[in-house]
Amino acid sequence: MDPAIVACVVEKHLKLIGLEEDAERAEQQEFLGSLSKQQLQQRGVAIYGLRITEQRTGLVGKTIVELGTGSNLPAHVIKTGDVVQIDRPSKTEVEAVSGIVNRLTENFISVAFKEPPNIPDDGLRIVKLPNDVAFQRMRYAMTNLGNSKQSRLLDVLFGPVKGDGKQFPDPDTTKARWFNPHLNESQKEAVISALNASELKLIHGPPGTGKTETLIEIIKQLVTPRIFNTSTRKRVLVCGPSNLSVDNIVERLGQIDMVRVGHPARVLESVIPHTLDSRLATGDAAALVKDIRLEIDTALKQLSKSGAKRREIYAELKELRKELYSREKGAIDNLISGSSVVLSTLNMAGSKLLKNRRFDVVIIDEAGQALEAECWLAMLLAEKVILAGDHCQLPPTVSSPSAERGGLATTLFERLVSRNPEAMSLLNTQYRMNHLIMDWSSTEFYHGKLIADPSVATHSLFTEHNESVLRLIDTVGFDYLEAQVDEDQSKYNEGEAKLVVEHLLKLVTGGVSPKSIAVITPYNAQVGLIETLVSECHQVRGVEIGSGISQS
C-alpha cells in the first residue's frame, strides 16, 4: 500500500466525520432549545411525569432503571439504543444523568447506566440526546487505519495489487457440493469467487436477486467447507449498517454455531435466542454470576433509603459491580471466541466487545448503505473482506451539506466497484418483479444486464384487465400545490395524496387486499396526510404507508 494515499483518505474522512457530527449536534441543540415542554412532547423527543418502577443489574454490571407513568407512555420517537438524559425539570438542584435506552414497551422505558444514577424516584423527564458514540467509533476506525501495518488487503485497497487473487483452481459448479442446490448460475459464480478470493470480493446484488441467499451459502461454506477440498474452518464476522440487515441473515442461517452481538431489544424476536445476552443467561455462564446478581438487585431495592445508608449502598454496589464485570467478561470472551460466526452492526464492531478481536473473514451486507468509516470498524479485524450491496440504490443519509459535497455519502462499496472491477460479481437474475418493471430499472441503473426469472416475468395483479404493471404519473400542470409544515420543514401535497387514495380504491375494487398494498412517500407530512385520508375511507384501511426509510 501507499502510506501517503492511506493518510490522505484518513485525513479526509476524519474531517468529514467532524462536519457531520457538528451538523447533527447543532441541529439537535437548536431543535431542543427552541421548543417548549408541549412542543417537545408533540415531537416525541421528551417524556414527562416519569417515576422509577424498578432497578436491576444488567450485562457486565450495568444498572438498568425502568421508568413509567402509571399508564401507557405517550407517543414518542425514542428508540432502543438512543442516548437520553434524565432529569427533574422542576428541580434545578437535581443533576441530570445520561444513559442508553435498553428496552421499550407500551408502558415502560428501561435505561442502562454505567453507575447507579443518583436521581429522585418520581417527577422525572427523559429527553433524547445526540448520540456521539457512533462518531467516536468511526474516528477510532480511521485513526487505526492510519496506523495500520502493511498487509495484502490494504495493498489491494490502496496499492497496485488487483483484487482478483485466487487460492485454488475454480471447481466445476455442476459437481460442487452446495448447501442450497437451487442457487442460479450468477449466485454460484459469486459464491465460488468469494470463497476463492485471497483478500477482496464485491457482490453487486440489485433488488430481488437473492443477495442474502448468496451470503448464507458463503457463510456456511466458510464454516463447513464443501466446495473446496480444505479442512480449514473459518471464523467469520458478519456485519451490516442496521440491525435489520444483520437479523435477516441470522434468521436464515439456521442452527449454525453463531452469536448475535447487540441490544436484545433492537433485534427481531426470532433472533433473541442467538443474542449474547440470551446465551449468557441460559448457558453455563449464568451459574457463575447468579449469586452476585442477586446481591446487586437486593442492594438496588434499598436505594430509596437516604443519608449515610444510601451512600453505603452506593459503595457496596460499586464493589459488587466490579466482581460481576470480572466474572461476566470471561464468559463473554469464551462465548465470542468460541463461536464460528459472530454477527453485529458495523457500529457494534467498534465496541469493546469486538474491536480487538481477529477473524478470518469479514462479510458486510448492505455495504452500499454504509459510510466508509463504518466499514473500517469491521474490516480492520480480518485479512479478507467480502462486501455485498447495491451502490445504484439510495446512499447513506448525510446531514451536513459540506460533508456530502466532500464525499461522505460516497460509500466504500461504490469506490471499490470503480477501482477494483475485477473483484465484482453481479447477481443478474431477479425474483421480485414483472419484467416490464425490471426493464425500466435495469436500463436506467444496471446497463440492461438484469434478467427476470420465469416465475415472476409476467406476474401481474390483474389477468383480465389491461392494467399497466408500471405507471409513471407526471402531476405538472394538475395544479397540485406543494405545501410545507413550518415546524419541521416536512412537505405535503393534498392533490397528490387524493390521487394516491383514488388509485388505492381502484386496486381494492379490483380484488387486491389492502394489506397487500404499500405506499411510500419521502416526507413525513405526506405520510400523515395519506394516513388521514385512508382512515376516512373504510375500503382501503389496512394499507401500509411509510417513508421507506428503515428505523433499525
- Which residues, in sequence order, are CB contacts of 139 under 8 Å at separation 6+? 14, 17, 373
Please give, one letter per residue, the 3-state secondary structure of 67-81: EECCCCCCCCCCCCC
pLDDT range class, residue 549, cuts 50, 70, 90: low
- Residue 168 clears pLDDT 70, i.e. is over it: no
Poorest-pLDDT segment among 88-102, 123-137, 398-412, 495-509? 88-102
Least confident of 79-93, 198-212, 241-255: 79-93
The pLDDT tens digits for 328-368 are 788 889 899 999 999 999 999 999 999 889 999 999 999 99
For the chain, the structural domain boundaries read 35-130, 138-163+176-257+340-427, 460-547
* Mean per-residue pLDDT, 104-110: 89
Percent of the chain with pLDDT over 90: 46
Cα 254 vs. chain centroid, distance in angstroms? Answer: 21
Distances in whole angstroms, Cα of residue 163 to Cα of each of 2, 384, 385: 16, 11, 11
Q: Could you say which DSSP state residue 61 is in?
A: G
Q: Tell me the backbone φ, ψ of residue 146, rounded to 5 degrees.
A: -65, -25
CA 280 to chain centroid, in Å, comes to 23
Residues above pLDDT 70, as percent of the chain:
89
The three state secondary structure string of 425-442 is: EECCEECCCCHHHHHHHH
* CA atoms of 465 and 523, how far apart (whole Å): 33
What distance in Å separates the CA atoms of residue 396 and residue 475, rounded to the nearest whole number? 29
The DSSP secondary-structure symbol of 106 reads: S
In this predicted model, what pLDDT tens digit does every residue of 266-324 receive, in sequence order? 788 889 889 988 888 776 667 767 777 788 778 777 765 555 677 777 778 778 877 87
CA distances to 6, 487, 517 from 535, rounded to whole Å, are 55, 24, 15
Q: Give the pLDDT score at 94.
A: 64
C-alpha pair distances (Å), 305 with each of 302, 511, 551 = 6, 65, 40
pLDDT in tens, 49-90: 999 998 887 766 678 899 999 898 888 888 877 889 898 887
Residue in the block written with cell 454490571: 61
Q: Which pLDDT belongs to residue 56? A: 84
The residue type found at 186 is S
Whether residue 552 is predicted with pLDDT greater than 50 in this model: the reply is no
Contact 325, 60 (CB under 8 A): yes
Strands 424-426 and 200-204 turn out to be: parallel
pLDDT for 141 beyond 60: yes
Is-same-fold flag (35-130; 138-163+176-257+340-427)? no
pLDDT in tens, 385-395: 999 999 999 88
Q: Mark out the alpha helices in 224-368 (DSSP H runs).
A: 243-253, 276-282, 285-301, 307-338
Hey, what CATH class is 138-163+176-257+340-427 in? alpha beta
| Mean pLDDT within 463-489 | 74
Region 134-151 average pLDDT: 89
> Grid coordinates in use for 139?
474516528
Which three cell numbers, joined as nine digits, stand for 518?
404499500
More confident residue, 498 or 306: 498
Of the listed ranges 147-151, 348-352, 501-505, the least confidently predicted one is 147-151
Residues 192/230, Cβ–Cβ less than 8 Å: no
Amino acid at 86: I
User: 451-472, pLDDT tens digit by residue?
Assistant: 999 999 988 876 555 567 888 8
DSSP collapsed to 3 states, 470-511: CCCCCCCCCCCCEEECCCCCCEEEHHHHHHHHHHHHHHHHCC
Q: What is the pTM of this model?
A: 0.82
Domain covering 460-547, topology: Rossmann fold (3.40.50)
DSSP 166: B
Is 235 or 39 the better-scoring residue by pLDDT? 235
State which of 63-72, 148-157, 237-246 shows the largest mean pLDDT: 237-246
CA neighbours closer than 13 Å in the CB half-sphere of residue 465: 11
String of DSSP letters for 173-208: TTTS--SSTT--HHHHHHHHHHHHBSSEEEEE--TT
Residue-wise DSSP of 349-411: GGSTTTTT---SEEEESSGGGS-HHHHHHHHTT-S-EEEEE-TTS-------HHHHHHTTTS-
Q: Under CATH, to which class is 35-130 assigned?
A: mainly beta
Residue 64: enclosing H or E segment and its boundaries? strand 63-68
